[in-house]
Amino acid sequence: MACKECKNEGIADGYLCDKCLIKTKEYKIAVITKIYDGDKLFGGNRYDELIEITYNEIKTRAKESNQTIKHIIKSYDLKSIKGGKDFYKEQKGVVFNIGEILIVDPYFEREIIGHGRKPSKWGVEYEIFNSNELEKAIKCALIATEKSIG
């Protein structure tokens, strides 16, 4: 198993590694055009995120806002970490934004640069362009953004 261009091992035969995709311009460009946020069918465009908050941060916030520590914990729906003094908060993070442009591999349409996000996994619509269609992709991103802000 190796990259068909540079012979880098760890890449399945017949595929290019990310570096060679960029070098040979065989990558694709994805533009996020629509988001189904919270849609039951598509699952939305949000991921679960845990924010850790120390007791000292809560104490500081309580002091600054002239509130009790108990009030801060309750109002922010903070949960204790294994009965200790540190806490966490559950929230949803946004995966994609409308008009976002991604460089993706042509095989699985997974982001090459960045976090490796895959638009088809999330509740979004997107358009794919060849690497030589950057101008078209930018125009598409601008149109999608303009539509989203009304």
Residues 103 and 137 in one domain: yes
Kindly state the average pLDDT of the residues 46-67: 90
Number of domains in the chain: 2
Residues 100 and 40 in one domain: yes
Is there a domain that residue 51 lies in? yes
Residues 6+ apart with CB under 8 A from 133: 29
d(CA 17, CA 13): 10
Tell whether the model's pLDDT for residue 41 goes beyond 60: no
Is there a domain that residue 6 lies in? no
Structure-token match 């949803």, residue found:
92
d(CA 5, CA 18): 11
Domain end residue (candidates: 76, 94, 112) = 94
Residues 75 and 145 in one domain: no
When pLDDT is cut at 50, 70 and 90, the band that residue 40 belongs to is low
Is there a domain that residue 4 lies in? no
Residues 121 and 100 in one domain: yes
Strand order in the sheet with 28-35: 101-104, 28-35, 124-130
Tell whether the model's pLDDT for residue 6 goes beyond 80: yes
Single pTM value for the model = 0.76
Is there a domain that residue 81 lies in? yes
d(CA 58, CA 46): 26
d(CA 5, CA 50): 40
For residue 15 the two structure tokens come to 């595929």
Tell me which amino acid residue 36 is: Y
Three-state secondary structure call for residue 149: helix
Residues 99 and 126 in one domain: yes
Residues 73 and 32 in one domain: no
Task: Print the domain residue range for 35.
Answer: 18-45+95-149
Residues 84 and 109 in one domain: no
Residues 101 and 37 in one domain: yes
Residues 75 and 60 in one domain: yes
Q: Per residue in 59-97, pLDDT tens?
A: 999 999 999 999 998 988 898 887 778 899 988 888 999
More confident residue, 92 or 128: 128
What is the pLDDT at residue 117? 94
More confident residue, 145 or 93: 145
